[in-house]
Amino acid sequence: MSASADIDLTAAEQERQERRREILAAVLRVLIPVMAALVMGGIILLILGKNPLDYYGFVLRRGLLTWGGLQETLTRMAPLLLIGAGLIVAFRAGIWNLGTDGQFLIAAVLSAALAPALITVLPDALTIIICMVVSMLAAAIWSLIPAILKARYGINEIITSLMMSFLGVSFANVLVKLFFRDPATTVPQTMSLAVEDRLPRLFDTTIHLGLIIALVVIVLVHVMMTRTAFGLKLQVVGANPAAAVHAGLRVGWLTIATFAISAGLIGLGGAVEILGVWGVVRADWNPAFGLLVVPLVFLARFNGYATIGFTLFFSALMIGGDSAARRVGVPNDFVLVLVALLLIFLAVVEYLDHLRRKKAGA
pLDDT digits (tens, 9 = 90+) for 173-184: 999 999 999 998
Which residue pairs, CB below 8 angstroms and at least 24 apart, start in 307-310?
A: 307/81, 307/84, 307/85, 307/88, 307/218, 308/81, 308/215, 308/218
Question: Rounded to whole angstroms, how far apart are CA atoms 111 and 71?
Answer: 24
Nearest C-alpha neighbor of 79 from the set 325, 349, 293, 255? 293
Higher pLDDT, 168 or 13: 168
How many other C-beta atoms are found inside a 10 Å radius of the C-beta of residue 289? 22
Which ranges of the chain would DSSP assign to H, the alpha helix? Answer: 3-47, 52-60, 67-92, 100-118, 124-142, 144-153, 157-174, 210-227, 229-239, 241-246, 251-273, 290-299, 304-328, 334-361
Question: What digits encode the pLDDT tens for the residues 97-156?
Answer: 999 999 999 999 999 999 999 999 999 999 999 999 999 999 999 999 999 999 999 899
Residue 249's identity, in one-letter code, is L
Residue 261 confidence (pLDDT) above 90: yes
Question: Where do the structural domains in the chain lie, given as residue ranges?
Answer: 74-311
Higher pLDDT, 349 or 166: 166
Average pLDDT, the chain: 90
